[in-house]
Amino acid sequence: MANFLLVHGAWHGAWCWQRVLTPLIQAGHHTHAVTLTGVGERAHLLRPGIDLETHIQDVLSAMDAEELNDVVLVVHSYAGMLGTAVADRRPERLRHLVYLDAVLPAPGESWSSTQAPETRAARIAASEADPLYSFPAPNPAVFGLSGEDHAWVARRQTRHPGGPYTQALQFNAERVASVPRTFINCTQPPLATIEVSRQRMVDPQFWGGHWLPGSRVVELNTGHDPMVSDPQGLTSLLLDCSR
Q: Across the strands, what pairs with 6?
A: 33, 74
CA distance 64 to 118: 39
One-letter amino acid of 175 = R
DSSP the chain: --EEEEE--TT--GGGGHHHHHHHHHTT-EEEEE--TTSGGGGGG--TT--HHHHHHHHHHHHHHTT--SEEEEEEGGGHHHHHHHHHH-GGGEEEEEEES---PPTTB-GGGGS-HHHHHHHHHHHHHSTT-EEPPPPGGGGT--HHHHHHHHTT---EESHHHH--B---HHHHTTS-EEEEEE-SSPPGGGHHHHHHTT-TTGGGGTSSTTEEEEEESS-S-HHHH-HHHHHHHHHHHT-
Question: How far lies 72's CA from each of 21, 47, 93, 159, 163, in Å?
Answer: 13, 30, 9, 28, 27
For residue 77, indicate whether it is catalytic. Answer: yes
Of the residues 61, 77, 215, 229, which is catalytic? 77
Enzyme catalytic residues? 77
